[in-house]
Amino acid sequence: MTNSLSERFFDFDLWLVGAAHFVILFASFQVPYRLGWKQDLRQLMPFNRKLLWVQSGFTVFTIIAFGTLTLVFFVLAASYLGLFVWRVWLRPE
Protein backbone atom coordinates (compact mmCIF):
# COMPACT_ATOMS: atom_id res chain seq x y z
CA MET A 1 0.00 0.00 0.00
CA THR A 2 1.42 3.37 -0.94
CA ASN A 3 1.62 6.20 1.52
CA SER A 4 -1.08 8.17 -0.27
CA LEU A 5 -3.43 5.20 -0.38
CA SER A 6 -2.89 4.43 3.30
CA GLU A 7 -3.52 8.07 4.23
CA ARG A 8 -6.78 8.12 2.27
CA PHE A 9 -7.85 4.86 3.88
CA PHE A 10 -7.00 6.18 7.35
CA ASP A 11 -8.88 9.43 6.69
CA PHE A 12 -11.94 7.50 5.53
CA ASP A 13 -11.64 5.19 8.53
CA LEU A 14 -11.58 8.14 10.94
CA TRP A 15 -14.71 9.60 9.35
CA LEU A 16 -16.38 6.23 9.66
CA VAL A 17 -15.38 5.85 13.31
CA GLY A 18 -16.54 9.40 14.09
CA ALA A 19 -19.94 8.66 12.59
CA ALA A 20 -20.07 5.32 14.42
CA HIS A 21 -19.89 7.17 17.74
CA PHE A 22 -23.20 8.81 16.96
CA VAL A 23 -24.75 5.53 15.81
CA ILE A 24 -23.75 4.04 19.16
CA LEU A 25 -25.19 7.11 20.89
CA PHE A 26 -28.52 6.64 19.09
CA ALA A 27 -28.57 2.99 20.17
CA SER A 28 -27.73 3.91 23.76
CA PHE A 29 -30.81 6.12 24.00
CA GLN A 30 -32.95 3.03 23.41
CA VAL A 31 -31.38 1.04 26.26
CA PRO A 32 -33.50 2.43 29.15
CA TYR A 33 -36.75 1.75 27.28
CA ARG A 34 -35.77 -1.67 25.91
CA LEU A 35 -34.46 -2.92 29.26
CA GLY A 36 -37.29 -1.52 31.34
CA TRP A 37 -35.19 0.82 33.45
CA LYS A 38 -38.24 2.79 34.54
CA GLN A 39 -39.43 -0.09 36.68
CA ASP A 40 -35.92 -1.06 37.80
CA LEU A 41 -34.98 2.47 38.86
CA ARG A 42 -38.02 2.69 41.13
CA GLN A 43 -36.56 -0.12 43.25
CA LEU A 44 -33.26 1.69 43.85
CA MET A 45 -32.52 4.01 46.71
CA PRO A 46 -32.54 7.70 45.65
CA PHE A 47 -28.75 8.04 45.93
CA ASN A 48 -28.13 4.98 43.75
CA ARG A 49 -30.69 6.20 41.22
CA LYS A 50 -28.93 9.57 40.97
CA LEU A 51 -25.56 7.86 40.74
CA LEU A 52 -26.76 5.74 37.83
CA TRP A 53 -28.06 8.81 35.99
CA VAL A 54 -24.80 10.68 36.55
CA GLN A 55 -22.80 7.73 35.25
CA SER A 56 -25.10 7.41 32.23
CA GLY A 57 -24.80 11.13 31.51
CA PHE A 58 -21.03 10.92 31.72
CA THR A 59 -21.05 8.03 29.24
CA VAL A 60 -23.30 9.93 26.81
CA PHE A 61 -21.19 13.10 26.96
CA THR A 62 -18.00 11.07 26.52
CA ILE A 63 -19.39 9.45 23.37
CA ILE A 64 -20.47 12.87 22.06
CA ALA A 65 -17.06 14.35 22.83
CA PHE A 66 -15.07 11.57 21.16
CA GLY A 67 -17.35 11.55 18.13
CA THR A 68 -17.18 15.32 17.73
CA LEU A 69 -13.43 15.48 18.27
CA THR A 70 -12.89 12.68 15.77
CA LEU A 71 -14.99 14.39 13.09
CA VAL A 72 -13.73 17.94 13.69
CA PHE A 73 -10.06 17.22 14.26
CA PHE A 74 -9.63 14.12 12.14
CA VAL A 75 -6.48 15.49 10.49
CA LEU A 76 -4.83 15.99 13.86
CA ALA A 77 -6.25 12.70 15.05
CA ALA A 78 -4.64 10.97 12.08
CA SER A 79 -1.33 12.60 12.92
CA TYR A 80 -1.28 11.87 16.65
CA LEU A 81 -3.31 8.69 16.96
CA GLY A 82 -0.23 6.50 16.88
CA LEU A 83 1.41 8.54 19.61
CA PHE A 84 -1.75 8.42 21.71
CA VAL A 85 -2.09 4.64 21.39
CA TRP A 86 1.56 4.17 22.29
CA ARG A 87 1.25 6.49 25.29
CA VAL A 88 -1.93 4.93 26.69
CA TRP A 89 -1.57 1.25 25.86
CA LEU A 90 2.00 0.40 24.91
CA ARG A 91 4.19 2.74 26.94
CA PRO A 92 7.15 1.12 28.60
CA GLU A 93 7.07 1.17 32.36
How far is Cα 25 from Cα 12, in angstroms, rounded to an integer?
20
Single-letter residue type at 35:
L
Q: List the chain pLDDT tens, one digit each, 93 residues.
A: 456 776 677 778 778 888 888 999 998 889 888 988 888 888 989 999 899 889 989 989 888 888 888 888 776 766 666 666 666 666 655
Neighbours of 27 (CB within 10 A): 10
CB-based contacts of 93: which residues, under 8 Å, 6+ apart?
Answer: none
Comparing CA positions, the residue from 55, 48, 15 lying closest to residue 31 is 55
Residue type at 22? F
Name residue 24's amino acid.
I
